[in-house]
Amino acid sequence: MTPVLAFDIETVPDIEGLRTLHALDPEMAASDIAEMAFQRRRQSSGSDFLPLHLHRVVAIACVLRDRDGFTVWSLGDAKATEVDLIRRFFDGIEKYTPQLVSWNGGGFDLPVLHYRSMIHGIPAARYWDMGEDNKEFKWNNYISRYHLRHLDLMDLLALYQPRNNVPLDEMARLIGFPGKLGMDGSKIWDAYQSGKTNSIRNYCETDAANTYLLYLRFQLVRGVFSNEQYRRECELVRASLSKNTEPHWREFLSEWRAA
């Protein structure tokens, strides 16, 4: 079977990048730099959501379904550098050539990883292959919006119309999946400043798990899975997570209402 890799990233403002671009005092506090960037962004766009090249990756969570079973984890450890996290992600693609699955991965996660890879000089030959090395990739690669080697579920379900986009949390909960637990993207910067990197990683893992469950549901409605296959795949996820004693997975299972 082709491995399936559902993923999610979490980011914070790139303080050193902002310091460089705006020639800021080396002694200026990170919190002040971030607030300055948020204010500038609000003035220009009405939102404090920073441009994608100014997001620094602090967590990448993955769900892998392959012939050996189901696994969910965060790349690296809580002290891993951005370079290490991104390199591990692309190394996984190099090793497994998986089916990538995301929710808004084409609109956020992957472009962020592209820009940060450029900044750090991180190679990813398999990911960027568009048929030069493997002719199969000419017609189905990770880069094209309309190829399914990377399946951005949100983008596809919205028929590639941004006005039709819906949040991962709401879509998951409408089906009966857990949705977001205890945190959302707007709280990541505050959590990071408070040293709660493990909480961010746990939150990122549950987002990746919700994304994978939505992928299973999609495989059911598009006829790839029968009802019995869908049930078995969901039970595999439940059984795998039930072996994990970490609190965020206990909460995740307790909130899971879908059949």
Strand ranges (DSSP E) for 14-51? Answer: none
Question: What's the pLDDT score for residue 182?
Answer: 78
Domain residue limits, the chain: 4-255
Strand extents, DSSP E, the chain = 4-13, 55-66, 69-74, 99-102, 150-152
Q: What is the pTM of this model?
A: 0.96
pLDDT of residue 138: 87
Encoded tokens for 125: 């030959």
| Helix, strand, or coil (residue 69) | strand
CATH superfamily of 4-255: Ribonuclease H-like superfamily/Ribonuclease H (3.30.420.10)
Helix (H, G, I), strand (E, B) or coil at 190: helix
**Rounded Cα gap, residues 247 and 236, in angstroms:** 19
CB-CB neighbours of 234 under 10 Å: 19
pLDDT tens, the chain, 259 aa long: 899 999 999 999 999 999 999 999 999 999 999 999 999 999 999 999 999 999 999 999 999 999 999 999 999 999 999 999 999 999 999 999 999 999 999 999 999 999 999 999 999 999 999 988 788 888 899 999 998 899 999 999 999 999 999 999 999 999 999 999 878 878 899 999 999 999 999 999 999 999 999 999 999 999 999 999 999 999 999 999 999 999 999 999 999 997 6
User: Which residues are 76's β-sheet partners?
Assistant: none
φ and ψ at residue 132, rounded to 5 degrees: -70, -40
Predicted pLDDT of residue 259: 64
Q: CA 49 to CA 226: how far, in whole Å?
A: 41
3-state secondary structure of 65: strand
